[in-house]
Amino acid sequence: MSLPVTPPSLHQLLAQFAPTRITELMSLPKELIKNERYFHWDELRHRPTPAGITHEEWWLITKFDRVGQARKLALLNDKSGSPFSYVLAEPILKALRYIDRHAGGADTQIDVTERNRYIFGQLIEESITSSQLEGASTTRRVAEELLRTERKPVDNSERMIANNFAAMQHIQTLANTDLTPAIIGEIQRIITRGTLDNADDEGRFRQDDTVNVMDNRDGTILHKPPLATELAQRMQRLCEFANQSEDDEPYCHPVIRAILLHFMLAYDHPFADGNGRTARALFYWAMARHGYRLMEYVSISSILRQTTGQYKRAYLHTETDDGDVTYFLIHQLETIEKAIHALREHLAIKQNELQQTQQLLAGMSNQLNLRQIALITGALKGHANAYTIAIHQRSHGISYATARQDLMDLVALGLLQEQKKGKAFQYFAPLNLRAIIGQLNSQRN
């Protein structure tokens, strides 16, 4: 991966131009030289300049404007001890408005009876794609079967996915708990359990400085994290930042705070492994803590996996431009927007599928609940070879007795067939399921 070109510093540019020219540049109309997309120097230097100025002059004006608006993060410092900062640029303000409108509060547009099923599906999606971002290699079908059946992982990739699923479940229990370095360590321990060369690295901060962030394709070093001796203090400051309330000053929007937790954990790279997955888990913790209920159903890693180059470059742009974390904020906010939009499209499709199944099952509508209708919907689409009481229970977050009754009722109607396998029973949809539904409907008409 090619590294972005480091921008010329303000000191260099001020020395390069005469005071009279600087005065002329600063008096130019803002709309003439605006940079709404918040381009890094590496991008801006290739774009057509506003009339009458050079790329260096354009960057000087841009940088002056950003420095004047920068909001410094006193608790979040780079390796040199300088605070990171960000600008509330137009893309950020627009994205925050969208996320607040569609992900904040309790109105999630998801039927309360379907809530557990959708949360379970999101946990599976995030667990798989977050692990795949870090190198896990297995098919989606195998990974989903692993999590739904709770079988024992057979290799490191499956262990990574199972661990990530366990960590995401653990995060759900911590929304009302203040973050501590010990909790961060516990999350990483769950994520890496049984996958590290040295088991002692599970749940503990790095003991040396041999860890670098590299591009595995060509060995390029992308980032050298802070010294191991600084990690205890840096994690304590990160937790202090994470636990601040919305009443603390200076004000930091909750979504920005969640993204900054993601950024800083990955920047500090406090563990021998599992840093990216831990960073994304902290993002979910912060969003849950601040009441963004829809994020329980949204997978950001599924979007990040499609744009891994942009994800890495957002870190690099920040590190090469005086710790301006605006680049990372914009990238992550766009990711969240895309993930919310994808969820809304998914919900519309699933709602339509459920309605179609309900119409198909019209003659039995008073005998089936939404869980059973969802199962039949999946069976009609060929999504599962076999169902078990445990899988149904786990998918919907219900008791064993309720799950068993759901399946037995479907067997009684002829919509599922029961077979004993070992000590347990499995349930299969008949090959002629659609025809059976038609027969049952005609009998009731």
Q: What pLDDT does residue 115 have?
A: 65
Q: What pLDDT does residue 106 have?
A: 53
Q: What pLDDT does residue 308 have?
A: 85
Q: List all residues 6 or more positions away from 165 whose beta carbon is below 8 Å from its beta carbon.
A: 123, 124, 127, 147
User: 281, 171 in Cβ contact below 8 A?
Assistant: yes
What does the alpha-carbon distance between residue 55 and residue 44 come to, in Å, rounded to a whole number? 7
Q: What pLDDT does residue 185 have?
A: 98
pLDDT tens figures, 360-411: 887 777 788 988 988 888 888 776 668 889 888 888 888 999 999 999 999 9
pLDDT tens figures, 255-301: 999 999 999 999 999 999 999 999 999 999 999 999 997 888 888 88
pLDDT tens figures, 425-441: 889 988 888 888 888 87
Q: What pLDDT does residue 70 have?
A: 97
- What is the CATH number that goes with domain 76-344? 1.10.3290.10
Q: Does this chain's domain 76-344 share its CATH topology with 385-444?
A: no
Q: What pLDDT does residue 146 have?
A: 84
Q: List all residues 6 or more positions away from 76 whose beta carbon is below 8 Å from its beta carbon.
A: 83, 84, 237, 238, 241, 260, 264
Q: What pLDDT does residue 360 have?
A: 83
CA angle 330, 318, 73 (to 5 degrees): 85
- What is the CATH number that goes with domain 385-444? 1.10.10.10
Question: Global pTM?
Answer: 0.86
Assigned token pair, 332: 């992550």
Q: What pLDDT does residue 188 have?
A: 98
Q: List all residues 6 or more positions away from 247 whose beta carbon is below 8 Å from its beta carbon.
A: none
Domain ranges of the chain: 10-69, 76-344, 385-444
Q: How far apart are the first and last CA of the chain?
A: 66
Ranges under pLDDT 70 in the chain: 105-116, 383-385, 444-445
